[in-house]
Amino acid sequence: MSKLALKVTAVETLSPLVKRFRFESPTGAPLPVFSGGAHITVEMPEGEIVRRNSYSLISDPYDGSGYEIAVRREDRGRGGSRHMHTKVREGDEITVSAPANHFQLDLRARKHVLIAGGIGITPFLSQLKQLGMEQKPFELHYAARSREEAAGLKLLPGAAHIHIHISDEGARMDLGAILDGQPLGTHVYTCGPDGLITAVADQAARLGWPKTSVHSEAFTAPPPGEPFEVVVKSSGKTVTVKADQSLLEALEAAKVEIDYSCRGGACGRCETHVTACDGRILHNDHWLSEAERAEQKTIMPCMSRFKGARLELDL
Partner 1 sequence: MTMQFNEESFRGDYTFRNSPAAIRRFPFPFDRDEYMYSVNIEQHPGGPEGSPFEFAFDVDEHYVAEMKDREITLAEDPMRCQSLPHMELAGWDLLELIMVSKARDYPELFKLSRDGNAWHWINKPLGIDKKFTFLDPTTLPCGPLEYITRQAQGDFALLHEREGNLWLDAGMVTSQADWSLDFDVGMNFFEWHAPVPKARKMGVFDKALKFLLAVTQEKSYRRLNWTMTVNPRLDTSPENYHKWGPEKRTITPENVGAKQFLRVELQTFWRLPRSNALAFPIRCYLCNLEDIATQPKWGRRLHRVLRDIDPDLAEYKGFAVNQKVILDYLSQFDDGAETSPGIFPD
Q: List residues near partner 1 by CB under 8 A.
A: 1-2, 32-35, 38, 61-62, 97-101, 104, 106-108, 130, 133-134, 212, 259, 261, 269
Q: Is 279 left (phi over 0), alpha (psi -120 to 50) or beta?
A: left
Write out the H or E segment, with its range, that includes residue 243.
none
What gap in Å lies between CA 190 and CA 214, rounded to an integer? Answer: 8
Q: Shortest Cβ distance from residue 271 to ligand FES (Å)?
A: 7
Q: Which does 266 bind (CB under 5 to 8 A by kind): ligand FES, partner 1, none?
A: ligand FES
What gap in Å lies between CA 182 and CA 67, rounded to an integer? Answer: 33
Name residue 85's beta-bridge partners. Answer: none
Q: Which does 205 bind (CB under 5 to 8 A by kind): ligand FES, partner 1, none?
A: none
State which residue, 221 or 267, has the beta carbon closest to ligand FES: 267
Nearest Cα neighbor of 16 from 114, 151, 108 is 151
Residue selected from 268, 282, 312, 314 as contacting ligand FES according to rule CB under 6 A: 268
> Under 8 Å CB-to-CB from 255, ≥6 apart: which residues?
none
Stretch that binds ligand FES, among 87-95, 159-167, 231-239, 256-264 (CB under 6 A): 256-264
Q: Which does 270 bind (CB under 5 to 8 A by kind): ligand FES, partner 1, none?
A: ligand FES
CA dihedral 5, 81, 100, 298 (to 10 degrees): 120
Rg (CA), the chain: 20
What gap in Å lies between CA 93 and CA 85, rounded to an integer? Answer: 15
Q: Which does 265 bind (CB under 5 to 8 A by kind): partner 1, ligand FES, none?
A: ligand FES
Q: Which does 79 bind (CB under 5 to 8 A by kind): partner 1, ligand FES, none?
A: none
DSSP letter for 33, please: P
Stretch that binds ligand FES, among 85-93, 182-190, 238-246, 265-273 (CB under 6 A): 265-273
Q: Which does 84 bind (CB under 5 to 8 A by kind): ligand FES, partner 1, none?
A: none
Residue selected from 40, 267, 277, 281 as contacting ligand FES according to rule CB under 6 A: 267
What is the CA angle 184-186-191, rounded to 5?
150
What gap in Å lies between CA 115 and CA 101, rounded to an integer? Answer: 18
Stretch that binds ligand FES, among 10-18, 155-163, 182-190, 262-270 (CB under 6 A): 262-270
What gap in Å lies between CA 28 and CA 40, rounded to an integer? Answer: 19
What gap in Å lies between CA 311 and CA 305, rounded to an integer? Answer: 10
- Strands 305-313 and 228-232 turn out to be parallel
Q: How many residues bind ligand FES (CB under 6 A)?
A: 14
> What track of x and - describes contact with ligand FES for positions 83 through 122 (by CB under 6 A)?
----------------------------------------
Stretch that binds ligand FES, among 9-17, 62-70, 127-135, 257-265 (CB under 6 A): 257-265
Q: Which does 35 bind (CB under 5 to 8 A by kind): partner 1, ligand FES, none?
A: partner 1
* Residues making contact with ligand FES (CB under 6 A): 260-263, 265-270, 285, 287, 300, 302
